[in-house]
Chain A
Amino acid sequence: MKVALFVTCLVDQLCPNVGMATVEVLERAGCDVTFDERQTCCGQPAFNTGYRKEARKFAERFIEIFETSDAEAIVIPSGSCTSMVKHFHEVFEGDAEWRERADRIAAKTHELSSFLVNVLDVDEVGAISNGKATWHDACHGLRDLGVHDEPRRLLNKVDGLEFVEMENADVCCGFGGTFSVKFPEISAGILDNKIEMIEKSGADTVVACDASCLMQIAGRLSRISSRVQVKHIAEILASQE
């Protein structure tokens, strides 16, 4: 299947390896991956802070770029950015034509783990790894997109990897974009609870489908010199060792 990748700005700049791993996994699952270099950001920071006019610019740009692609699906290694694409509709209030274009694009946009399991019907991508991993349900993936079982199925099929559930896997990590900037102390308090659960699970790696949550969680783990590592699900699925 021909797939257009929206890599997200965070992955592009902060953890490009996650992008490469995403390409690797999709190719292994039989996809022909394309990447349009005109892409930048989905505009979520503006939308979530209330700046809909600014968010609209990003939405228009996103739609124009991906309309030129003949790919059947747009895949994003982030639940949060995928959910933003599903929200594009709202920045075009009162503009029927743009709304229709937004809806058409949104309909073929998928978060990575959900795309593999629900669209390609693949839960085994030949990954080999080791150690003990636990899963953090990023809020938008879980509650906006309903992604819950998909990553767990994929992780359970990774050869050599032990999967453990942590308590409160579905509770927020406290990032929330603008929220963590406006109220860093509350955000850090919520994060502390998450870290406690991660450590309590006994896992050596915490996995999620969002670079933003991973950045928040990794930031604290690194500060307290924890032995727990942070990995994007694409990195685990691409792993061959």
Chain B
Amino acid sequence: MSTTHATSETFDRNARAALADPVLHGALRNLADSFVVRRRNAIASAGDWEDLRERARSIKDETLLHLDEYLERFTENAEKAGSTIHWARDGKEACEIVLGLVRAQNANMVVKAKSMAGEEIHLNEALEAAGIEPVETDLGEWIIQLAGETPSHIVVPAIHKTKQQIADLFVEKVGIEKTDNVDVLTQTARRILRQRFAEAQVGISGVNFGVAETGTILILENEGNIRLTTSLTKTHIAVMGIEKVIPKFADLDVFLKLLPRSGTGQRLTAYQSLITGVKNNADDIGPDELHIVMLDNGRSRMLAHPLTRQSLACIRCGACLNACPVYQQIGGHAYGSVYPGPIGAVITPQLFGLSKAKQLPYASSLCGACREVCPVKIDIPALLLHLRSEIAEGSTRESQPTRKLGESIAFRMYSRIWSRSGTYALSIRAARLAQRFVARNGKIGKVSGMLALLVPPLGAWTERRDAPVVAPKSFREMWREKKK
């Protein structure tokens, strides 16, 4: 089964398919067991964690409130250091800019560092369509590319794959002997990728942070491939979401403490590439040209509303995915978006349209585990509730509510009947009568046949668990007797 190219529209079906996939389940088990525990241990070494979160959030709030000013400052300083800034309103524009830059180098191949912005704008497809071969150099991304899939996690793109699946993939695509030795697999990847690095003229990356004060970009990684992508090539193109800017160099301190700990449970990533412009002398390392493509693609729309604005504070650490009970069950592909998990359920509808992803805000039990782990304190449950209300009642974003008719009628009836005690009591008496047909031994077992079709939630709910019945005497009746 592959849910790789599933869309958000069919979330329910994707999720069911994912749940039925035992291999995926095995792979996802590691997530909770390793990342959640590692994160917990790592934050213990960070000093006052709550204080760090507060500070990070207030830096983000300040930046987002005056984003235009900080972007201007970033642009000015980046250009002073020799970078070239490009502005892309949407994904299509961003891809065109990148294609133009690659063509100008006469390159028919580019090396790529892992970048969610790149995934968001479907850069690989655009490059391929233009006859340019994109080569992913992050091990996980490379595996995904070999398999012809999309990432299922924003930090660990191949988290859904077991070691065995990866080994089989290498046998099939790279032609190595069958092995389950991880070192052999990594060595193979390294050997192949090193050759591609040597050929490459152009490297494409994302950006973790852009410092307004200095025009510096910071990229974090563990494998060293980003370092190579951005320094061995003559031209480096960085695609940067406009929300990635932060005011001062010193602000990095807070984020460097938070991000690796939250994401992979590391105190610090193995590499931090701070890049300020191009090289000044011929023997310096670094590219001759650094192009930064500033990507909007729906972000400025999120700025308008004080509640949704916080969605842009996300530093893509992945902690909310790891902590989410829903994500742990179904993995990332079911969301049908480059951004899965809790934050994905929040930004996918905002970036790509509520009507395309209207199931996602409901794909949460609102347990709040995401809010608890988020290093920048994004109130994801509040955002999910807000989006749900936009779906049910319409909004400025999409004037027509996109709710289901049956559901809205049910809730109108619920509020009419249940907000008054007289009609409420009547409805309970009716339920008591009705349940005679389904209840056995004080509970409702598996409901099937006609009744499951008539009352669909009851059928699905009782598939795996029993449902309770209305008690023969309600509390209010008991209370009345007690008071007599």
- Chain A residues with CB under 8 Å of chain B are 7, 9, 11-16, 19-20, 23, 35, 37-41, 43, 45-55, 57-58, 61, 90, 139-140, 142-144, 171-172, 174-191, 193, 215-216, 218-220, 222-223
Contacts and interface: CB of A to CB of B under 8 A. Distances in A.
Interface stretch (B60-68, B298-306, B362-370): B362-370
Interface string B443-484: 101000000000001001111111111110111111110100
Contacts of B407: 49
B365 A187 contact: yes
Contact of B385 (A50, A193, A219): A50
Contact of B393 (A53, A172, A178): A53
Interface in B17-39: 19
B392 A16 contact: no
A13 B414 CA distance: 15
B478 A216 contact: no
Interface stretch (B116-124, B190-198, B218-226, B416-424): B416-424
Given A19-B475, A37-B476, A215-B468, A186 B392 contact: no
Nearest to A47: B385
Contacts of B437: none
B155 to A, nearest CB: 21
Contacts of A47: 385
A221 to B, nearest CB: 9
Contacts of B463: 184-185, 188
A48 B367 contact: no
A16 B475 contact: yes
Contact of B19 (A61, A174, A182, A189): A189
Query: Shortest 8 CB-CB distances between A and B: which pairs?
Result: A176-B365, A50-B388, A219-B465, A50-B392, A54-B415, A172-B367, A19-B475, A143-B368
Most buried by B among A54, A90, A218: A54
Please classify the interface of chain B as helix (H, G, I), strand (E, B), loop, or mixed, using the class held by over half of its residues: helix
Interface of B: 12, 15-16, 19, 325-326, 328-330, 359, 361-369, 371-372, 385, 387-393, 403, 407-408, 411-412, 414-415, 418-421, 424, 428, 431, 443, 445, 457, 460-471, 473-480, 482
Contacts, number: 203
Contact of A13 (B12, B16, B420, B471): B471
Contacts of A16: 471, 473-475, 477-478
Contact of A176 (B16, B330, B367, B477): B367
Contacts of B364: 176, 179
A172 B466 contact: no
Given A11-B475, A143-B372, A184-B461, A50 B325 contact: no
Contacts of A35: 476, 479
Nearest to B465: A219
A32 to B, nearest CB: 13
